Every structure is written in C-alpha cells, then in structure tokens.
Chains A and B, each alone.
Chain A
C-alpha cells in the first residue's frame, strides 16, 4: 500500500479500489493456483460496510470442506480422550495411536492399554439393510467424501459435541457426546475411569412423511481407522485415514443379557465383554428395539442394531467407558443419568480463572472458536502418571505425544494471550526436571556442557529437535512476561538464565563446520538430519531475545550480557543469510525481477523434506523471531516467492500434501498452516488485507469451522490445536498490539471491520500484555458517526509509554470516544495519558 495514502482514506474511496489494492496482479494466470482473495471479486458492496473485507463466514467459502476431521472430547488432564470423527464414529484409543517408533521409552505407562482400543461406528440404513463392513481396506473419505455435519452445543459450558444425520426417510438423527469422570472433579488418578455419554436423538421429523421408527446401528469393533502415512497416491493428503477391516475384530466376544420386552418398555441394556465387564450401557426409550448381532463377514465385529420411534425428542442414551468397567462401577455412573452427568460437567467446566480473558467480537464463529479452543487445550493434554505433572500433547489420536516446538505455541501464542496463566504454568513445569539432563541432538554439542539445555521428557518425546530448547525457553520467558507471576519467576528465573547460557555457549562454540556465531548443526525436525537450519536459529534466538526482554524488565544483572549476545546472534544470522542469498539460485517475479531463493540451512546435508523446510521452518520465520524486519528486501521477496513464484504453477488446490511445494493459499501455508509465518510480515508491514485474509483463512480453512479442531495439513491430521496459536496471536494483535513498537500499545490497528458494529459491543477483557492485562470494549453509534471505546489497563508498573488507537476506516465515522474523551477519527489517535 502506498505510504502516502492512509488506509482509511483508501477504504473510504470504495471497495473497488481497495480490491485493486488487495489483488496481486502477478497472481493472474490461466492455470489454477493458490487462491488470492480480491474484494473486487466479492463485489463492491461485499464485506462489512461494503469494504470488501473478509469475514469468517465468507472465509468458509474459500475452500472445499475439510475431510476426515476428528475432534476429541475428554476431561482436563485425563490420560485418555474419546476422538469423535465427523461421521459420529467414536474412537477409544487408550494406548499410543501412532507410535513414531517402537522405543520402549514412549509413554511406558500406556503399554498396559495396548490392544484395548474400541471403536463405535454409527451405521445408517442403506437399501433396507445395513452396509456390511467391507472386506478390503479403503480410505475413509471415499465412503462419504469425508465430510459430516457437526458442531458444539452452545447452550452449555461443557463441550458437548453433536453430529447429525439427515435421513431422507424423513427425520434428523443427532448424536450428542460429552465426557465425564465419576465424581466430576479434577482428575486425581490420570488413568481412572472416564466415560463418554452419548445421546442419539430424533432432532426433527417430517410431519407428513416419516417412518414410524428409525433404525440404525452402532458397529462395535477394535479401532480400525488407521493413519496411512505417506502419500498413497499422487498428491493425496499426507496422512490419510484408512479403514482397515482386518483390524476391526475384537479379541473377545460381546454380549447382552437376553431381552424380553414385548411391551416396548424403556430398557437399560448392558453390553458385556468376554470377561463380564461392561463395555457399554444403552438406555432405550419406549417403543425402541435393540439387538446385538455379530457381523457375519467379520467375526468379532458386532452391530448393535437400534430403532427408535421417529418422534421429535425421542432419544436413546449410550454410556461408553474408555475401558471396560466392572458392573457396579458402570451402574453407578449410569445411575447419574444424562442430566446428572452433564450437571456435574457444568460444575466442572463453568468456572474460569480470574485472569481469563473474555472475547466477544460479534462474529459467532470467532467467539465460539476461542470458547472451545481453550477447553480443548486442556483436553489434549495429560497428567502423566510417571511424573505426576501435566503436559500439553501435540494432538489426540495420532500425535498424542509431545513435539515441544510447535506445542510450545499453545502456551506463548495462545493460552498466555488469553489469560490462562495457571494452565500454562502447570503444563510447563515438567520441563524444569529435564533441563541439563538430555544431550542435544547434534555432534557439535558433544564438546559442550549440557547445563541449561531444555528438552522434551523422553517418555513424551517423538523426535528430538534442537529447536525444542528454544521453544521451551520461549514458553517460559513469554509466560513470565505476560503473566507477571512472581511465583513462577521464583521457580523459573534460574532455569531461564541457564537456558540463555546454553544458547550463548553454543553460539560461541566455533569448532564446527557451520557458520560461526550461530547455533551449530543439530537435528531440527522429524527427518533427524543434523543441519544448521534456520529453524533452530529462529527458535533459539527468539527465546534468547524474550529472555533478555524479561531480564531487562527485572533489572537483572546479566540482562545486558545476554542482550549483547542476542545482538551478535542477530547480526551473525543476517550476515549469513545475505551471504547465502548472494549465492542462492534465483526466481523471476511477474515483473521480470530476479530474487534469491533463500536457503533453509547454513550447513548440513540435503533433507528429504526440502519443500516443507523451505516454508514452514525456513527463512520467513526470521520476522517472527525478530532476526530480520519484514521490510527487508530478502523478506519481502521471499514472501512473494510463495505468493507468485514457481511453486504456484505446480500447486494443485485440491490435491497436495504437507510435503509438497508450499504456496500461500489465501495467505495460508499450503503445507502446515500453523507455520504461516507470513502473517508476521503482514502484521509488521501493516498489510491489513493480507493480514486479515490470513487470519480468517486460518479460522475457516485450517481449523474445522464446525468443531474448531485444527489440522496439521488440510484434510490430513486433525485432533490438534496446531493453528490456535497463530489465530490467537493475530486476533489479539489486530486489536491490542504490544509487540509492534517497544513500550507502546496500539489499539485497533488491524481490527476487522466485522468486529465494529452498532449492534454489538465488541469486548476483549483482561487481555494480557507486556504491561499488564488490558480490557477493551468498543461499539459503533447507531448513526455510524462515532465509536465508543472503553479502554482500561491493569498495569503492573507504569504502563506503556504511549497508547495509540487506529480508528476503523469506516465511511462516516467522525469521532472516537475513548473513556469519554472525544477524538477526531481522522487518523491515528495518541491517547492522552491517564485515558
């Protein structure tokens, strides 16, 4: 955008002009490629106030629906989770679902649960019967396009997931599901009983054309939905869920008591396993039928055939323990009933920490995203039985281990930004015990002391990345910066300093073949290739810089020492990157200008994943890390490489994997969206259009718009919160930005116009900042001429040096009332001190 034209002026000139500014002419090509949204394409009157700006609803239309989504329900910190697929299938996998290796160190406490998995698959009638479980393996999405109708109940705090089947027989059947532990209290024994309560309800029935009863089946088996790793076909999704019927048979038999019910009374029916333990309990309504039938083609697989009267409100309840339970225990849980169990869950889920933020933007999807994502963070976590400590997990059903680098973002870019400081503290503490214990994964580090080195606990570690050290340190330092928690500092200050010492020692070590002054080569990602990658530089520098920021705030005597080391690190990095760029191959932009294709490493052998490393863990991370500014020509050109470069010609919008050549598709990484580092470029540059396109793209295209669970790669691995950090960081910085300029807070700088409304007061309550929690409320007047803003900071010390408010670019907006002080809405407002 021209620096001579204010954003507001540009927008008030009209959507067409704005659209022209958004559109990238270089992207115009005859062949399909990554989508670049244009306001002009959306129409001059589209978007809030005709601005052409995107909204969450519009962003839903940018991609085809995501396939094979699964979402966990569970209990905070419990060892187990129930994974609910888009089609209502429940996966009970108490062991590691996808062990990356056979290492006995991996969650040894789960070994006892191997083979005790269970799957409940709802099967709808077809052609007068039920489709049998096929004999041959098949990709799940090929049976039903991999798409279902799903969402959360919004009238309760408990995460109650619903899945719907719209049956042409004339009714809508809906499954509700939530998890409950006996007693409804925070967990004590991590592996204790946990139940899924499920309800199958006739949600709606056609008044004139419906059956008397509706029959469906619950197919009971072992878990036969399996992760197919590796592209099975050309550019198929990297992790495809494959139904493997051969894995389905249970080792033992199932049975029910004999049922004699000629009067059609409501029944409670237990399903027992071969030991007599209760595998599930079913409560049928009056007029229902129930029969357990072994699959004729697959002994060991059972269909629980159920029929309910097709009357609205009729429902059938299912109690599903993660593991078979003694009859008395299952009966005690069943005695609670749906309402009783849900009541206990409400007591459990309703309380919020005093520090917790509250976000209400007026965009339903955005608000619900934050509401449920916070809950999911503690569900995709566990209190590890071996250490008794809590840890976030990278995912559920697949990545139920800990990749510390991406998962650290749950802390410092997600939960800490939402005031969930106690949760972050509790899930970070485990790393203290591992500091200085493990050896860094690189030959060059053998000569260095391991003091201060952070690593993932071995029982949780999938792959050893050197970046984990920086990620853990960044999580700790950022938590201290945002929480202002003295008790945390009491425990963590020394480990943070020791962590900085490790980085400084490593950068000062020169007896290696890589670039001196940087972190020497080490394993950087799942490839295990030891390389002096940009990825390990970015994470360790970011952590060092954040630590310096913290130590300076504390007035720590070593703050400047580490500050100097950070400066040297940054300088060495910039020099090395410019040197590498000078020798790098080039690409030609649409204007005919040549630019370097930046390397992913300064030293090390070729990697089997070059395309992933080029974007996800490549040079664009430098802006986020603070190693280079976004307006550096290398950064500008390399970001454009992924927007209009040669990768775009090879990009197939509908068939690509996480390992393919990455492009920016609606400003979202086509590889792993959680690494859409370009958003930090747009943020720093004030490229509002790309920033909002990326933020909304992530909300609607990288997390399920139905359940808000995130993917690693679209249509591939789900059950994670990979993308929540990036969305949270962008949403928060769109309205409250304490990162752009030191000691300043910028308000509404990149606020979406969709959040500015006369009908709704947008609130961001208790948003943690470097200066203390900030509350911001704003609402447009009915005539659209003034914006009333309530702004309050609970400053830890003196507060920011300056606070600036960027008036939304709304035609007709004349005034901004901030804490009753009126300002003209012409341009950036510098708030008066005390206001």
Chain B
C-alpha cells in the first residue's frame, strides 16, 4: 500500500499538527503503559489483506453515532488488548481425567488474526505440529503452511509455504488422515454445490511444498447441515472419522468406512443433542487414553471436557458428564489442539482476543479529549457497528461473533447511559452466517428510518438486509436485496448522506488509495482529492454538528484527522482537515 502523501496534503498535515490541541491523554491512556504492536481484530474484512503483521484497521460506522445524546457523533474506540491475535499455548500438564489438564498458558508470538481457517497438523512429516492457515483476502483464499521449526521457542512457526490459492470456494477446511498414509489430508466443504459438497484432497507426500495438489475427490453432499466439522479417529480404527454438529445442536459421528480413494463417509450415528449450547467445539485427547475427547467452550467462557467413553463404532462415545478445564476462554476466538510441547499429550491453543471499548464524547470544543469505558469483554467479536436498532433514538452496538455458527450477530441495546458504558443491557440475537460477508455497514437504505445492514460478500457484491421493524429480536429476517457489485477492491465502505439529498451515499476507500463517493441518486461519482493510501481508518459522522457528515481518518502515525463537510454536494466536500487527536495507533475499531 502506498504511504506517500501529496505535498499539498503534507502541508495541511503540518499545519494541522501545529494547531493540534489534543493532549497526549486523548489517545491510549498512559496508565496502560506503552503501546504494543498493532493488532487486527477483524478476520475477514477485505482490507485486511496484508501479510502478517498487519496494521490496525477499523470497521464501518453507522450514522449518526451520537452515543451521549448531544447531537454530535461520538467516537467509539476499541483497544484490542496486549495479546490479540497471538496463540496462547495451554500445555497439557499430565492431569488425569477429571482435572483440568490445561491450567496455564504461554504466548507464542505472531499475529494470526488474518486467518479465517486455523488448523494444527503435522503436514511436513517431521512429527511436529504445523499451522495451516487461510488468508481469505489474498488471491481468493491463500492457504499457508507454517512449518514447526522445532525450536520450542516463542514462535515455532516463523516461516510459511503457500499451499495454493482460491481456497475461498470452501467454507470449511479441516485436516485429517483420510487416506490412511499417516499424512494429513484436507477435507473441504463447498457450500454452493449440492447443499454442501465435501471434497477430499489427499496429501501428495511432499514435505516442502504444497501437499494438496492431487485432484480432489468427492465425499458426499448435503454437508451444509454441519455448523461444526472436525476430523478425529473416534472409532479407533486408525482412520479419521468426521464429527459434525448440525444446526439443531445434535452431534453426529460419520465413521470412516475404510475407503481411501472414494467417499469414506457413507453412514452416521448420533452422539447426543444439545451441543448448540457450546460456542466452540474441537476434539483433543484430554484424558491421555488415546481417544479423542470433545473439548468445548460454554457461553460463559468456561472450557469443558467430554471424555470419550470407549464406545465402539455405532454407539455414542460422549455420554459421560463433562468436567471443567478452566475459565476465561472467552478471550479466545479460536481453539486448536495438538502436541506442541512434544510430550505426547494434546495441548490446546487459543487465539487470544481481549478488548476494551472506550467512548470519546464529542465536545463542543472539538474531539476528543476525554473518554469513558464501555466494557472490557469485547473479546469475541470482529465487527462492531453502531446504529439505532431499537428505535429509541440511541445508538445500539452490533457485534459479530465470528466463532459462533459461522458468524453470529448480537445487538447490545443502548441503555441511555451517557457517561458510562451504555451497552450493559442483555444482548439479543441477530442471525447467523454473517461470516459469509466481508464488510458490514449499518444505515437506512430503505427509507423507513431504521438501520439496514449493507453487507459485502466475498465476490464483492453488496446486499441490503432491510430492518424488519423488530426492536428486541433479530431485525434482519426480511429477504436481502442486491445493491451493487465490483467492490472487492474496497478497503472501507461507509454510508453517509454526502450530497444532502436525504439518502445515504456510499463512501468507498479503495485499495489503490483513492476515495470515492457514489451518490445513491445515481448521479456522477465524486472522487475525493488526495492520496488516502496512508489512511487506515476512515469513519463518517456529523462531528461538527452542522447536520452534514464529516470524515475522520487516521494516518500511519496514529493521528486522527477531521475533514469537515464543506457543503459541496456534487464535488469533493472534504477538502480541508484539522487534527482530531494523536496516539490512536492502538485502536482496532473506531466508530462514529
């Protein structure tokens, strides 16, 4: 991404800096210590395409974002926390069944936030678990293998090897030895084909390159029923069976039938119901008996072990009551299992996320010199939006839990608090499957005064999910409506009534550093002057209180800039700027 600024803009920047009045405390609170490296919280927004480590980015904002009720858009900023994106390794301590075997963790450095698929398996055949990760935003889904270097150090996966591109056609990628050669094969689900076609990609034996180059073969259809898929040898025959949770919360074992070149999953048997109460589910040998146990996280962030009861194929192996394996796991948005420490026992790895949310009220004197806390448990979500969902005139918070049911949206109603956390009321559910979109924005596009969702799918198409009028339950149950295409190269999409016609227009920040306004009226597109390549945060909202949307940007140094709307409706309205605070490089979300 280009980082150069035009001379004219640079001059304005210098002038702006000279005029900056925001105190140092306007940014990250000094009591939190020095800023840590940038973090990425969103996993699949299109503009998080750079290889790790990545810069902080923000998500879309709704208008108006007036949290405090004074008529001005306030800033809502998220601090992702010190270990965000890293893998916490919970080494198995040898505890027997019934006792938490993973009581403490160490942090493996590295930032894995880019990955929407994260798996652990010995791909290279050296007996050490390698990381397999998919970056959905590079070449339509690049799969990377991070070989374990055997160092046992802070980052055992320092390098990577490409395992091909275009893996985004699959929405599930799991690893397991299906062909019986001792090497991990890929099991992928193509959701658009025959209600979910499962494909098997056999490991070709290579230990240094892409091991999944052989022609895939078919392993049945209808797999879209699965909300969780994991491969493990549950029946004890040496072949990877498939453990699946369906949408109703039932768990199913698909035993491997012995076929190593054709569909191995031709039958199934039940493994209990009610599994939809857990938010993450993997298999790992917690008890050390050589059989895969189910390890799951419950809604309160506690980890539970459902030990394998030794049942043979055909009988439910998970009938024994679970035992606890620690709490606080809500700070992880992904769980992996594997023997990282080399002691023969399965360790658990959690991808860390913490998140403090801060509200920076917009004072009449200007933004944003003070703040108040709005909670510290925003660990799971990777999309935050502001909008008045409940119709009470206050901006509610909408968050996506990426790990739950392929992306669950939650609405946190605004309580009316104006100087303390306003989003403490019970949340309510707003649908699943939102991981299929790469950008979410809120705004009234249907003209009914209620915020609709504008979402971009992986193909770059825009869809409107109209607000159906519900104020205490999922408002987005009405059929979606197409709104555009060709937006795959957009790094940020905003909605704002730039041309003042009462309709929200689309503000488009492109990956080539250009910024555009697409009026909804259909008139000519407006290009915003300047090079915006260095701006990794863009938000729109009426900060100045004149009823027109202003633009807020963050530069590479972490400084915020306010670009007041100058009243132009057919040409660039954001031709000037003024400083709006510095030291915001830590923020992983900035909402207006």
Contacts and interface: CB of A to CB of B under 8 A. Distances in A.
Interface of A: 127-130, 132, 135, 255-265, 289-294, 296-297, 299, 307
Contacts of B168: 296
Q: Which 4 A-B pairs have the closest CB atoms?
A: A291-B485, A129-B192, A260-B518, A289-B482
12 contacts: A258-B487, A260-B518, A262-B481, A263-B520, A263-B522, A289-B485, A291-B486, A292-B486, A293-B460, A296-B166, A296-B168, A299-B166
Interface in B224-242: none
A263 B548 CA distance: 22
B246 interface: no
A261 B483 contact: yes
Contacts of B140: 294, 296
Nearest to B489: A258
A770 B459 CA distance: 67
B461 interface: yes
B278 to A, nearest CB: 29
Interface of B: 140, 166, 168-169, 192-195, 215, 445, 454, 459-462, 464, 481-487, 490, 506, 508, 516, 518, 520, 522
Contacts of B490: 258
A293 B459 contact: yes
A260 B482 contact: no
A833 B74 CA distance: 106
B460 A260 contact: no
Given A260-B506, A263-B520, A291 B166 contact: no
Contacts of B518: 258, 260
A256 B485 contact: yes
A297 B485 CA distance: 20
A524 to B, nearest CB: 47
Contacts of B454: 262
Contacts of A259: 484-486
A227 to B, nearest CB: 27
A290 B485 contact: yes
A255 B195 CA distance: 30
Contact of A255 (B445, B482, B486): B486
A297 B195 contact: no
B327 to A, nearest CB: 41
A834 B464 CA distance: 81
A260 B516 CA distance: 12
Nearest to B479: A212
Contact of A260 (B193, B195, B215, B483): B483
Interface hub of A127, A130, A135, A263 (most chain B Cβ within 10 A): A263
A258 B484 contact: yes
A260 B441 CA distance: 14
B222 to A, nearest CB: 11
Contacts of B215: 135
Given A128-B192, A129-B193, A263-B520, A292 B464 contact: no
A786 B235 CA distance: 91
Given A260-B462, A264-B482, 10 more contacts: A127-B194, A129-B193, A258-B485, A260-B484, A261-B483, A262-B464, A263-B520, A290-B485, A296-B166, A297-B169
Nearest to A258: B486
A289 B481 CA distance: 9
Contacts of B482: 261, 264, 289, 307
A262 B485 contact: no
Nearest to A263: B520
A129, A132, A291, A293: most-surrounded residue (chain B CB, <10 A): A291
Contact of B483 (A129, A255, A262): A262
A127 B522 contact: no
A299 B168 CA distance: 13
Contact of A262 (B192, B195, B445, B486): B445
Given A260-B462, A299-B166, A265 B193 contact: no
Given A296-B166, A296-B168, A262 B484 contact: yes
Contact of A128 (B195, B460, B486, B487): B195
Contacts of A296: 140, 166, 168-169
A291 B460 contact: yes
A463 B529 CA distance: 63
A725 B218 CA distance: 51
Contacts of A258: 484-487, 490, 508, 516, 518
Given A129-B192, A261-B483, A262-B445, A297 B508 contact: no
A262 B487 contact: no
Nearest to A290: B485
Contacts of A263: 520, 522
A261 B519 CA distance: 9
Contacts of A294: 140
A257 B486 contact: yes
Contacts of B520: 260, 262-263
A127 B195 contact: yes
Contacts of A297: 166, 169
Of the listed residues A128, A256, A262, A290, the one surrounded by the most CB atoms of chain B closer than 10 A to its CB is A262
Contacts of A257: 486
Contacts of B461: 289, 291
Contacts of A289: 461, 482, 485
Contacts of B464: 262
A657 to B, nearest CB: 32
A135 to B, nearest CB: 8
Contacts of B462: 260, 262
A255 B508 CA distance: 17
A215 to B, nearest CB: 10
A307 to B, nearest CB: 7
Nearest to A257: B486
Contacts of A262: 445, 454, 462, 464, 481, 483-484, 520
A258 B508 CA distance: 10
Nearest to A135: B215
A292 B485 contact: yes
Nearest to B485: A291
A257 B485 CA distance: 9
Contacts of A261: 482-484, 522
B369 to A, nearest CB: 36
Nearest to B221: A127
Contacts of B166: 296-297, 299
A296 B167 CA distance: 8
Contacts of B194: 127
Contacts of A299: 166
Contact of A256 (B445, B459, B486): B486
Given A262-B520, A293-B459, A296-B169, A127 B485 contact: no
B214 to A, nearest CB: 12
B470 to A, nearest CB: 21
A307 B482 CA distance: 10
Contacts of A290: 485
Which of A130, A257, A258, A292 counts the most B-chain CB atoms under 10 A from its CB?
A258
